[in-house]
Structure 1
Amino acid sequence: MTDMTLISFILAISMLLFLAAGLWVSLALIGVGVMGLYMTGNEQIGLLFGSSSWGASTSWSLTALPMFIWMGELLFRTRLSEDLFKGLSPWLSSFPGKLLHVNVLSCGIFAAVSGSSAATAATIGRMTLPELKAQGYSEKMAVGTLAGSGTLGLLIPPSIILIVYGVAAEVSIGRLFIAGALPGIMLMLLFVGYTTIWALMNKNEVPQHSSNDVNWQVRFKALKKLLPIVALISFVLGSIYGGFTTPTEAAALGVFGAMVLAALTGSLSRQSFIDSLLGAVKSACMIGFILVGAHFLTLAMGFLGIPRALAEWIAAMSLSPFELLLYLTILFVVLGCFLDGISVVVLTVAVVLPMVQQAGIDLLWFGIFIVLVVELSQITPPVGFNLFVIQALTGKNILYVARAAFPFFMLILLGLVLITAFPEIVTYLPTTMSQR
């Protein structure tokens, strides 16, 4: 065993032990970084930590992060999310699967203004699960559609995890947002298609009386409840896609728009404003601390030469891009069983990117690929974040929630296969818009 292999092994075991002991992810990253620098004989740890922390936390692109989180927190605490459910329900009551599709579409729409998987699942689940249960829908299917669709918060822009990846990989966040649009729509269509087929094959588990009192007048009246949140989505994403604003500027406009809509609907109080601000600060600080730790660990690994050695090792193995992606998928899913999505990205990007670049894989496409894999991990037991959110909402055993989510796990896996076989699903929109 060479010295480099031994050091890498010691650091990997140390990381696992730190995490198993319940240490914060950020502190575990910093601790392993300190160990790595000591192994190189470098005694300037304080100076290096200070400079790396400054570099990790002062990127202009990161300013979009707290803004998008705050926008989601505002919507989470106002009546806009409730209006979303009421606005969609009349339009779906005569469709096979009926209100089960509200879970999918509500999650897709809310994801476009929250950027968070956990917030999407929690907000939509609080409204839809009691209503679906009261009307006699299959509880297992209601839980499954929510678990699967809740992961859309990671992919459909503005996505917090895409901002983190963009900063770590030095890829344009605006182009990543554009690249995530078509894959996000593709996943929604896969979920809707599966739910429709399931409903046609299990008619006894879908109530047949939901659309009796629904006419076109009721449907068009319900559109009024959809207009505010659709307008906010169009306002934020349209300004980015149209090239009028940067993601950071769009995030600030989104917060302002969310406040205006909440005030107009009468659901913005002093308490809800303070709660949303504190929630955004807590989440942004947690993510920022993880990024600082990851940046410091990356610096330490650079001194050790681990990324370069890994890239050379991968090159010597002569793996095809497909084989590399297969191994990385397994790695990310396994890590996702123990870490949240953002931690998985910041922990692995520094090590993985040299391999990806060596294999000639487009970093823009890889950003969407890694988010889809992290989506898989969100509904993989034992520590899928969406599973815990839904378990808290339903009181069900986590294995019950995992079994309910399994068909949607397979659909996300199908989505991974599709973007690998047809990379244009990811690259078409960014390429087209950059040529204008």
Structure 2
Amino acid sequence: MKLMYLTFQEDAPLYLGVKNKIEGQVGAFEKLGYEVTYSMWQGNTFQFFGAEPLKRSFDSSKGIMKQLTRIAYEYLQKNRFEVLYLRLDRISFDMLRICRAARDNQVKTIVVEIPNYPYLTDYIRNIQYAKTLKTRAVTAAKVAVTVADDRLSGRKLKQYVDAVVLYGNQADSFFGVKAMNGDNGINIDGITPVPHCGDLHKDIVFLGVAGTLWWQGYDRVLKGMSEYKKKKPDGAPALKFVLVGGDATEMPEFRALVDRLGLTEDVTFCGFKKGKELLDIYRTVDVGVSSLGCYRRGLTACFSLKAREYSAAALPFLYAYDDAKLGTDTPFALKLPNDGTTVDMNQVIAFVQKCRKDSSIAQKEREFAEKNYDWKIIMKQVLDFAKASVNID
């Protein structure tokens, strides 16, 4: 059976985590018995990889999404699949047109994935970042059109879509279509566990890995480090922070915060890293920082891909959101408040030292990741929910 995983995702360093997720899901679909084609764009080329490959050029200087959706529409008219899996930021009439083309070409099952739910808050928030009254008015008008397109087209979604996978807040339906809350996964075999550190006197090093920074909430950690540094008792461990990634547009403000808090010598900027380079950095740190800023997007629940990677690497981590897989008694994960409060470093230090004292925690964390976070397990649940599973040995 053939499956089309249609995305309009840009292949760029800023979105490396998203690309890894898409490729992980593709690999899982293949392991589950499908011949898979998937799409991404880069520069001025929209490319379809896998079972039914294709490259199409477009004009990247104007109306990118309109051009991409038109290419996808024509592609699905000409190529037949049993399952269409759509990753969408929102619903639109262009998306409905694509679904209609797929149905007309005998697609049996259509599944929509929404990576950030609820998502309209993100669009509305763009208004406040406009710098002048004129740009604010223009932005507000564009947002109004976007919201209207989503709300009106969404009413017809159930005519074409069989199931929806929501990443974010809990819901069992989406515009009248049955919905399940998705979970992020990883390729477990691609991540080697980091060595366990049992030295209670060693400095504690935080690791943050992200493209976009503002909703990761790393500033909460920096403020906590600054307060701790001012009052650090003699003999207590020093705190360091390593940042991998970071959107170029946000980095000046982030660096300015580091300087303002007196942490210039305590924060290391590594740029974007992947593969062996990233795994080598994992070996030098003590605690990962998953998202601490979900509240900034109006989210209470999150399924952080980075937390899954930390878990596979047996690296203890911090998080600040609801995650059904993580309980208050999870020994390798410390849950913090989902708000703008400064991170209590004494609480974090106690957590890290507890993990250092108990070498069995690392093994428990790795086994937990193998059981809960492998993409094949997660995508099998999605296909079963959509009633689109292939019967294979």
TM-score range, shorter chain: under 0.3
Q: Which has the higher helix share?
A: 1
Q: TM-score, normalised by structure 1?
A: 0.23
Q: Which has the higher strand share?
A: 2
